[in-house]
Amino acid sequence: MRVSDSPVVDARWALPGLLAGAAQNGAARRIPRRTARDWAIDSIAFLVSLGFVMLVAVAQAPATSPGDISLGFDGPREFPLVDGVLDPVLGVLLSLALWWRRRFPLALSLVALVLSTFTLSTGAATVILLFTLAVHRPWPVSVPVNLLQIPVSFLHLRITEGSADDWGSLIFGTLIGMMVLAWGIAVRARRQLVLSLRESAEQERGQHELRLVDARRGERSSIAREMHDVLAHRISLLSVHAGALEYRTRQAESGAAAPLTATEVHDAVTVIRENAHQALEELREVLTVLRTDSSDDQDDETGTAAPQAAISDLETLVEEARAAGQQIHVTSDASGLDEARPQLQRTVFRVVQEGLTNARKHAPEVPVNVLLRGTAGDEVVVEVTNVTQISTPRSTIPGAGAGLTGLTERVLLEGGTLEAGASGGAFRLKVRLPWRS
């Protein structure tokens, strides 16, 4: 089952640029592009600030006739040039600067606080910029800057009104500033939460993909070990039968033995052909598994499965080895093992198979003793022993030398122990496995 890489947000235009960039690219951009929502919000903020500038300009205009309405602001004017000309101009310029408020929130907020000290038309833009600062910068930056509103308001009343005794205006302005600050911090916290949740989801998704890859790799390694054991056993049988046929033919040519009959030749060639065919089939299976792309999913119908050996197959294994001329004595005292876990049965089978294969390679003419004993709920012991003699000819069957290494890994995965080595003139392979129900 594949997970789609396309974003699940179907109205990305309705998100802030920061969240929309994360939804599209999987990571937030440092300077995100504006979405349709951002353009709408910026336009509204600009129009509100510009409208406030026009309202202040109209309010500051003195009444020229008895019928005109004055909106106030008739106090003393310390800076008539600022009130009459620069105040609206600075208000318009700061309103235009709102289009860059997301990129330079701190610098524009400081400029706005300075301008709002001796102007009135910059008030709306200052509030918007302080809110933007709280949204786009962490609270250790936004809180101190917002707290500067208190001395700024005090200085503003001192300059424009000539006194700072209007405590009601100071308290009201401070409360408005704190509300804007709290709102901005809440918006920032919510956006950070959404981004962190998305990042966590992306990390979990990546880890899930890695787990899938590891699981496939582990399964393929397990299949490769299974096929190594099966193929080594099959090739060793093939080599033994071919060696026996070669030896008998040489004996017949030298006159030391009777010539082979057509039936004997046919039987020997049939055994060799069957083992070669089986070896090729098993080799084809392992190559198919190992060549399959790790990103392809395989179902139960088309996937290549590893051979599932069981305790019931031990008899066939031993008979094939005996047919190849190997002398094997089996002692079994593990009743109920055929009902144990399939993995335990398979491991026991592979231990015996590897033991017989090694004996056939390195001591082909020496009898092999196989001991199998165990108790359900305790452990099962598998022991394969063959005598090592100096005069025993070594087999020419090639091997990669990885059989015991792979077998050790298999046993360790089962929680068991493996001992292998020559001692007292015999080579002993002994494995202990927990027999869990």
CA distance 350 to 359: 14
Q: Is the pLDDT of residue 15 over 80?
A: no
% of the chain exceeding 90 in pLDDT: 10
Residue type, 430: K
Residue, of 275 and 105, whose pLDDT is higher: 105
Residue range 61-78: mean pLDDT, rounded: 47
Show me where the domains of the chain are located. Answer: 12-165, 310-437
Q: What is the pLDDT of residue 381?
A: 93
CA distance 92 to 51: 10
- Quickly count: other Cβ atoms within 10 Å of residue 307's Cβ: 14
**Confidence at 372, pLDDT banded by 50, 70, 90:** very high
Q: Is the pLDDT of residue 103 over 80?
A: yes
Per the CB < 8 A criterion, the answer to whether 24 and 12 are in contact is yes
pLDDT per residue over 309-349, tens digit each?
Answer: 788 888 888 888 888 778 899 999 888 888 888 888 888 98
pTM of the model: 0.46
CATH number of 310-437: 3.30.565.10
Q: Is the pLDDT of residue 394 over 70?
A: no
CA distance 372 to 381: 6
Q: What is the pLDDT of residue 84?
A: 60
Q: What is the pLDDT of residue 85?
A: 73
pLDDT per residue over 290-307, tens digit each?
Answer: 665 544 444 444 444 445
- Tell me the β-bridge partners of 387: 426
pLDDT per residue over 219-250, tens digit each?
Answer: 667 666 666 666 777 777 777 777 777 877 88
pLDDT per residue over 416-425, tens digit each?
Answer: 999 988 887 8
Q: What is the pLDDT of residue 2?
A: 44
Q: Is the pLDDT of residue 387 over 90?
A: no
Residue, of 76 and 386, whose pLDDT is higher: 386
CA distance 23 to 45: 25
Beta pairing class for 379-387 and 368-374:
antiparallel
